[in-house]
Amino acid sequence: MRDYNYKEKWQKLLIPDIVQKLTLINEFKGEQRLFIEAHKDELNELVEIAKIQSTEASNRIEGIFTADDRLKNLVQEKTTPRNRDESEIAGYRDVLNIIHESYEYIPINANYFLQLHRDLYKFIGDVDGGVFKTGDNIIRERDEKGNEKIRFKPVPAWETPESLDALCVAYKEAKNEADPLILMSMFILDFLCIYPFNDGNGRMSRLLTLLLLYQSDYIVGKYISIEKIIEESKETYYEVLQDSSINWHENENDYKPFVNYMLGVIVNAYKEFESRVELVTNPNLSKSDRIREIIKNHIGTITKSELLEMNPDISDTTVQRTLAELLKNNEIKKIGGGRYTKYTWNVED
């Protein structure tokens, strides 16, 4: 069976690029604590936005969708699921809330993972939530021509309970010695290589990422959606996952690509937190000014619905009026039309 001894492995990952990211994250962490103490009320908005974005992004990675208004009402528990996709979304919402509210009291062990998986599928009758996989699963991928190939063979079903137990024991044994961010990333990579469930492994891995971050006092994911950042870079996510799983069964895999990627995600989350907090807490910015600054500092395109989602205190009318004014002044560009309309800052001006 695989050797999960992190005590001997984590220090090999202390390469310059990773150390630089760790230093940056810990600087951001200290600054975030000061922000939170000074602006607790204003930050409640960010928590609600992050819940919606996290639930949407993590499910969308797996091809699970619903309309924007339905998603918001589901996350805020203002409606009940109408179909299978919405049932999966509601289950994710509930597990996300459990982690947000009770992360300090959730032990890192297989039994609790089974309970979280059970709750992930509690609105679906034909999926066995809360049980390990009943058959061997194979991770496949298709190329651009539609040809299918095997990307990875996870741990066989009969070995899964013992493997997950060994993984959790190794995590606990290394917790007081290893850097928590490196350890968390290694743990998630190994969890995905075990692939312990028939379904829901990807979403469980992202929920467990938040759990491990919170337990190590990195709570940026409460205010900024980690899942959304992963979704926006999912091609890279799958690439580094594959790179770090090569020779995994032989205990010769290289954790560096996946660890480096995950640390980059966390750095991005802290940077976004910093910029969003400045906008939310700046008393000199009007609501229109806030919309302008968000578009100006946003990389790539942004939609009106995303602006409304990021600013629940700003009305649809105000956002629409601000966009029209920015277009009139040639400060932003409009791309597409109708429901597919997007906006981007006019860098030429």
What are the binding residues for ATP?
Answer: 199-206, 237-238, 251
Binding residues, by number, are: 199-206, 237-238, 251
Contact 215, 103 (CB under 8 A): yes
Give the span between the Cα atoms of 269 and 186, in whole angstroms: 19
Cα–Cα distance for residue pair 104/117, rounded to 1 Å = 18
Rounded to whole angstroms, the Cα distance separating 183 from 217 reads: 14
Kindly report the number of other CB atoms within 10 A of residue 128's CB atom.
15
Closest CA to 201 of 125, 113, 266, 141: 113
Tokens read off for 118: 């059970």
Residues in contact with 68: Cβ distance below 8 Å, sequence separation at least 6, in sequence order: 305, 309
Residue 62: enclosing H or E segment and its boundaries? Answer: none
Token reading at 294: 């968000």
The amino acid present at 191, given as its one-letter code, is F
Token pair for residue 251?
């205990």
